[in-house]
Amino acid sequence: MTKAFVFPGQGAQFPGMAKDLYESSEKARVLFAEADGILGFCIRDIMFDGTDEDLRQTKVTQPAIFLHSVILAKCSPLLQGVVPAMAAGHSLGEFSALTAAGAISFADGLRLVYARAMAMQECCESAPGTMAAIIGLPDEDVVKACAEAGGTVVAANFNCPGQVVISGEKEAVARACEKATAAGAKMAVPLSVGGAFHSPLMEAARKKLAAAIEQTEFAAPVCPVYQNVTARAETDPAAIKANLLAQLTSPVRWTASVQAMIADGADNFVEIGPGSVLRGLVKRISGGSVSLEGIS
């Protein structure tokens, strides 16, 4: 089988995440200790014993999911000696994919994720926005609804056929939801998020993250990584860096990414990290033509 590793994004966190991994692996304990030193606080205490509300803190959520995913990839007995043919990550998960594939070091990956989280939080406070899920409408019709809504609202996550998340100014998102519903969408569901991710409203965060990315050394990954911005296999460090720079203000092209991986031979998708959202999306994108595994 041709394996593809996929890594989840924000929203997959849960109380107790990675605790069993920490308790069973000395290597995991070493990496968690290193993470505490980088972050300046004991994140594992929040991951293991914190509440849902604790885990929703931006400075916790993104590094927690990154740590769960990457330490799992490095320490799980089920993955030892397994080199995937390709990898991808959804939004935040792209940092996990690049770290697990060796394009960036564990320490640098965590530093970038923490910088990303803090920059996004500041941006949300200075440029308030929101997101909504449009269900049951073709991608092009969702894009059209955003274009006709006026203001700043864009298609932000192309998650699977019939599921697109839009992002932007609150009033513009509300108008786009109305237009999508009028065009035949089954549902237009406002999301409980702190800001307008993957939209032009994240430009200030992109600029701050860009400075951190530019200072980080990137290497060729051990396998191609299909990046959100291009939905293409990338192995060149310069291209990977450029795509990562563009990610915060560009749409997550997950449907196209999974389709490209399948076209390139992937027939076994392994979701590494908390939750099972990506397996559901891959199943819908593939029509059930690939096998799915989850390691959490």
CA angle 217, 56, 38 (to 5 degrees): 35
pLDDT surpasses 90 at 56: no
72-99 average pLDDT score: 96
112-127 average pLDDT score: 94
State the pLDDT at residue 154. Answer: 98
State the pLDDT at residue 59. Answer: 85
List phi, psi (to 5°) of 130.
-155, 180
State the pLDDT at residue 194. Answer: 81
Least confident of 49-58, 106-115, 197-206: 49-58
pLDDT in tens, 227-246: 999 999 999 999 999 999 99
pLDDT surpasses 90 at 175: yes
Residues labelled as active-site residues: 91, 198
pLDDT surpasses 90 at 58: no
Residue 267 DSSP SS3? coil
176-183 average pLDDT score: 98
222-231 average pLDDT score: 98
Distance CA 296, CA 284 (A): 21
State the pLDDT at residue 57. Answer: 84
pLDDT surpasses 90 at 72: yes
Runs of H (alpha helix) within 56-189: 58-75, 93-100, 106-126, 139-149, 170-182
The two most distant CA atoms of the chain are separated, in Å, by: 56
State the pLDDT at residue 212. Answer: 95
8-20 average pLDDT score: 94
Distance CA 57, CA 50 (A): 11
Contacts 24+ apart (CB under 8 A), 238-241: 240/98, 240/103, 241/213, 241/214, 241/216
State the pLDDT at residue 50. Answer: 94
| 197 DSSP assignment | T
Q: What is the CATH number of domain 3-125+200-295?
A: 3.40.366.10
pLDDT in tens, 130-157: 999 999 999 999 999 999 999 999 999 9
State the pLDDT at residue 79. Answer: 94
- Does the pTM surpass 0.85? The reply is yes
Q: For the chain, what percent of residues have pLDDT higher than 70?
A: 100
Q: What is the architecture, at CATH level 2, of domain 130-190? A: 2-Layer Sandwich (3.30)
pLDDT in tens, 263-289: 999 999 999 999 999 999 999 999 999
pLDDT surpasses 90 at 196: yes
239-261 average pLDDT score: 97
pLDDT surpasses 90 at 70: yes
**Domain ranges within the chain, ordered by starting residue:** 3-125+200-295, 130-190
Positive or negative, the Cα torsion across 31, 34, 40, 42? positive
Least confident of 63-77, 171-185, 188-202: 188-202
pLDDT in tens, 18-32: 999 999 999 999 999
